[in-house]
A and B are shown apart, each in its own frame.
Chain A
Amino acid sequence: MVDSTISHTTPGSPASPASEAGSLDVQPGGDTAEQFPVLQHKSKGRQRLLRGLQRISSSQSLRARISRPRASSAPYRSSASSLSCVSLASTPSPFGQPSSSSSYFSFGDVSTAPTSVAATPAVETPGYDGIESVLAVRKVDHPVSAPMTISLPTEIKKRAKIFNFWDTIPNEIKIYVLSFLSPKELVRISRVSKRFHELCFDGQLWTEFDASKFYREIPAESLTKILETAGPFVHDLNLRGCLQIEHMQRAQRLVAACHNLYSTSLEGCRNFQRPTLHTLLKANNQLVHLNLTGLPAVNNATCKIISRECPDLETLDVSGCTQMDARGIRFVLEGCPKLRDLRASSVRGFSSDADVATAIFSTNNLERLILSNCSDMTDDTFRTMILGPTPEFDMLTNRPLTPPRKLRHLDLTRCSRLSDNSIKSLAHVTPHLEGLSLSNLTQLTDSALDPIFDSCPNLTHLDLEELPHLTNSSFTALSRAPCSTKLEHLSISGCDSVSDVGMLPVFQACTSLKSVVMDNTRISNLTLTEAADMVRNRSLSPPSSASSSPPLPRTTLELTVYDTPLVTWTGVLEILSRNSEPLMARPAKDGVVEIGGGRKGKEVIGLRCFHTWQMTVDEHTRRVLKGDLGGARRVERKWAEYMQAENEMEVAGGWRRRRRVTAMRAVLEEDQGVHQQGHRGRERGRTVGCAVM
């Protein structure tokens, strides 16, 4: 018994009579081929048991068992056993499988043999009864295990165990794999090994460095090191808010390393020094997008350098650069013919230097021009910008004969010195205008806007906030204008002369509206109803033949109507009830009623109203967007009851009514309580209408 077990565990043990002792040496020995096949059949079942038993055997065996064959083979394989391997190398491979597994266990320390001895004989593979007799013979004779060490299967096993995937794949694939990691993860992984370190800081992984996600956490030294290693590979560099750069001259190292930049943003790096900035600009001649918002380091000399060194510049943002003025803009315009997008808000000096305006006019390449907060810009300057220094006028129509401007976006917010005279000049000369912001130009009247609406058929964004002289006639003109069907965003916040008369036609005509800001105007519930009608009409898609379950509702129109005293809770309730209506049916041509909105889904209006009602509205919208129309209608009903009770209480108050109202309010709040934040519970004031503070 003992020997048979030993024969399994010892590789190539010799045919020596070791029956009594259960000798524990690894005895090399050859074996004859005929014993070999028998042994293999036996070994399958026995191995399983052995495996199980060896698991609970002493640690030595465990260590030896799970260690790599290659490593463990050295101490346990003596030359003699290898001899046995050689001698049996010619045996056919069908026995390779079991023998390999047995050879696996043959590396086990022989000392385990005694513990596993007793149980082994109990297990016998079925159908191998004859083996036992043979076994018995062999037990006496000699333990046999040479077949267990057939080299071929071991080799295969060895390869399977030590195959190092990562090392063998080519570098490009490794880089591809690493490219899916975020910068933070890359830095973490770089600590695995030296090779990983080299790989992780390979420049190809850092071509786009966007620090705006982790600008607070990354220490200056790491930032500099990464950029230095990546060096010329970095194309897009976004260092927004990285104040730590200027610590101890690190910026200079950084700047020296990056000379292939394509797009850079240094927004908010207020510690950046001027010489470093200049070095950066001089080194990067291929810059296309440049954002230097709010940098005190930027001055006119910087602009000169930009114009000289970066001829390919297309986007420049120098908003809030207090140390430069309009002359710098002129340098840039003269030196960068490809400039398409110029953002120069809060830049001074537009009126003192007449050439800037001429420069802007002559390069007809600008598509986006943002000159907000340039409060010293005068009418003449702006007219020159648009029409040129000496425009000619057509004698009959009195229209300017300038070639059309390529302007698509124009922002003149708060340039309060501009008046009708200059804004009128935008008409007929800017046919491609899509976005126009004339907020806070308090001198403007209708006469400036009407010609613009007539001649700019592509307007999508219109910002007309705080224009107190605007009246309803502008908006009726807007509703008749060619751009009415394309208009998407309209803001008339603070235009307190505008009322329903102007806005109703707008809502009827402008069917692509996505957001309308109408706070602080004189609109009333009628406008809200009109808006709801428009949304409902446009959500009725033509009957679709095979509409599966429609998608969830989505908010397609945002209305902002706080601070409007004429919008009461009934108007808001109207919007809510329209939102919670089921999909409308619309009769098709052949009289069959089809469900409209099938393919597009229900369109919901998002509403921002008086703050006391805002919670109810939010809760209602949440439920509608989830598809829970029944729940939304419950909220509506409760709120309507509550508001009516409050109304009655105001009119003819009494303690009974007051109690009912407080009870209703509690129920209402509880219903919405799931989504409430604690502190907002107190905000439900008792005012019914929208009280002006």
Chain B
Amino acid sequence: MGLTYNTYLNSDVIYGCKNCKAHLANAHDIISRNFRGQHGKAYLFNTVVNVETGDPSERNMTTGRHVVRDIQCRQCKDVVGWKYDRAYESSEKYKEGKFILEAELLCKVT
């Protein structure tokens, strides 16, 4: 496959993986910060880079049943959050295709 290069983002405030500082997402891409993950607060992003997605699994969240996949940082293989594949409630449909990154596992990279 060759070397896996990282993508670098251009912005004022960039969130990166806490371990390896790989760029993950742009702070402007945040849709909402009102989410909770296993480690506390989590942010909903439109797009993230440098992540690998895992296998889909169905989970019951506070807002209902969803099909989600875990995402890992491409460089250090740490789980940093998850991605919504499908939401069974119609009020949660807006989350489909978007990513959740846990605030605890992120750091600001400037």
Q: Which residues of A line the B interface, CB within 8 A?
A: 212, 215-216, 240-241, 243-244, 268, 270, 293-294, 319-320, 345-346, 372-373, 413-414, 493-494, 519-520, 562-563, 611-612, 614, 679, 682-687, 691-693
Residue contact B5 to A243, C-beta cutoff 8 Å: yes
Residue contact A494 to B107, C-beta cutoff 8 Å: no
At the interface, yes or no: B77 with Cβ under 8 Å from chain A? no
Residue contact B3 to A243, C-beta cutoff 8 Å: yes
Q: Which residues of B line the A interface, CB within 8 A?
A: 3-6, 8, 18, 20-22, 30-35, 41, 62-63, 75, 90-94, 96-97, 107-109
Known: A243-B5, A614-B31. 20 other contacts (CB 8 A): A212-B8, A241-B6, A243-B3, A243-B4, A294-B22, A345-B107, A372-B108, A373-B18, A519-B32, A519-B33, A562-B33, A611-B32, A682-B96, A683-B93, A684-B94, A685-B91, A685-B94, A687-B91, A691-B91, A693-B63
18 contacts between A and B (CB under 8 A): A240-B8, A268-B6, A268-B8, A268-B22, A293-B21, A294-B20, A319-B109, A320-B21, A346-B18, A346-B107, A611-B32, A614-B31, A679-B96, A683-B94, A685-B92, A691-B91, A692-B34, A693-B32
Q: Which of B5, B35, B93, B109 contacts A216 (CB 8 A)?
A: B5
The distance in angstroms between the C-alpha atoms of A562 and B4, with both chains bound, is 35
* Closest Cβ–Cβ distance, residue A461 to chain B (whole Å): 10
Query: For residue A217, which residue of chain B has the nearest CB?
Result: B5
Residue contact A611 to B94, C-beta cutoff 8 Å: yes
Across-interface contacts of A494 in B (CB, < 8 A): 33, 41
Across-interface contacts of B63 in A (CB, < 8 A): 693
Q: Which of B4, B33, B108, B109 contacts A520 (CB 8 A)?
A: B33
Across-interface contacts of A611 in B (CB, < 8 A): 31-32, 94
Query: For residue B31, which residue of chain A has the nearest CB?
Result: A611
Residue contact A215 to B5, C-beta cutoff 8 Å: yes
Across-interface contacts of A270 in B (CB, < 8 A): 20, 75
Residue contact A563 to B33, C-beta cutoff 8 Å: yes
* Closest Cβ–Cβ distance, residue B84 to chain A (whole Å): 12
* Closest Cβ–Cβ distance, residue A63 to chain B (whole Å): 51
Across-interface contacts of B96 in A (CB, < 8 A): 679, 682
Residue contact B20 to A320, C-beta cutoff 8 Å: yes
* Closest Cβ–Cβ distance, residue A245 to chain B (whole Å): 10
Across-interface contacts of A244 in B (CB, < 8 A): 3
The distance in angstroms between the C-alpha atoms of A693 and B34, with both chains bound, is 7
The distance in angstroms between the C-alpha atoms of A520 and B30, with both chains bound, is 13
Query: For residue B92, which residue of chain A has the nearest CB?
Result: A685
Q: Which of B35, B93, B108 contacts A693 (CB 8 A)?
A: B35
Across-interface contacts of A519 in B (CB, < 8 A): 32-33
Residue contact B3 to A685, C-beta cutoff 8 Å: no
Most buried by A among B20, B21, B35: B21
Residue contact B107 to A373, C-beta cutoff 8 Å: yes
Across-interface contacts of B91 in A (CB, < 8 A): 685-687, 691
The distance in angstroms between the C-alpha atoms of A244 and B5, with both chains bound, is 9
Q: A294-B20, A693-B62 are in contact. Are A612 and B94 (CB under 8 A)?
A: yes
* Closest Cβ–Cβ distance, residue B104 to chain A (whole Å): 10
3 smallest CB-CB distances across A and B, nearest first, come from A683-B94, A320-B21, A563-B34
The distance in angstroms between the C-alpha atoms of A679 and B35, with both chains bound, is 22
* Closest Cβ–Cβ distance, residue A217 to chain B (whole Å): 10
Query: For residue A345, which residue of chain B has the nearest CB?
Result: B107
Across-interface contacts of A215 in B (CB, < 8 A): 5
Residue contact B107 to A414, C-beta cutoff 8 Å: yes
Query: For residue B61, which residue of chain A has the nearest CB?
Result: A693
Across-interface contacts of B33 in A (CB, < 8 A): 493-494, 519-520, 562-563
Query: For residue B36, which residue of chain A has the nearest CB?
Result: A693
The distance in angstroms between the C-alpha atoms of A687 and B63, with both chains bound, is 14
Q: Which of A212, A563, A682 contacts B94 (CB 8 A)?
A: A682
The distance in angstroms between the C-alpha atoms of A345 and B106, with both chains bound, is 13
Query: For residue A243, which residue of chain B has the nearest CB?
Result: B3
Query: For residue B97, which residue of chain A has the nearest CB?
Result: A679
Across-interface contacts of A685 in B (CB, < 8 A): 90-94
Residue contact B5 to A682, C-beta cutoff 8 Å: no
* Closest Cβ–Cβ distance, residue A297 to chain B (whole Å): 14
* Closest Cβ–Cβ distance, residue A326 to chain B (whole Å): 18
Across-interface contacts of A692 in B (CB, < 8 A): 34
The distance in angstroms between the C-alpha atoms of A346 and B33, with both chains bound, is 24
* Closest Cβ–Cβ distance, residue B28 to chain A (whole Å): 8
Q: A212-B8, A320-B21 are in contact. Are A562 and B32 (CB under 8 A)?
A: yes
Residue contact A294 to B21, C-beta cutoff 8 Å: yes
* Closest Cβ–Cβ distance, residue B103 to chain A (whole Å): 8
The distance in angstroms between the C-alpha atoms of A345 and B21, with both chains bound, is 10
The distance in angstroms between the C-alpha atoms of A682 and B95, with both chains bound, is 10
Residue contact A520 to B5, C-beta cutoff 8 Å: no
Query: For residue A611, which residue of chain B has the nearest CB?
Result: B31
Across-interface contacts of A520 in B (CB, < 8 A): 33-34
Residue contact B93 to A319, C-beta cutoff 8 Å: no
Q: Which of B32, B41, B92, B107 contacts A372 (CB 8 A)?
A: B107
The distance in angstroms between the C-alpha atoms of A293 and B109, with both chains bound, is 10
The distance in angstroms between the C-alpha atoms of A345 and B4, with both chains bound, is 25
Q: A240-B8, A243-B5, A345-B107 are in contact. Are A319 and B21 (CB under 8 A)?
A: yes
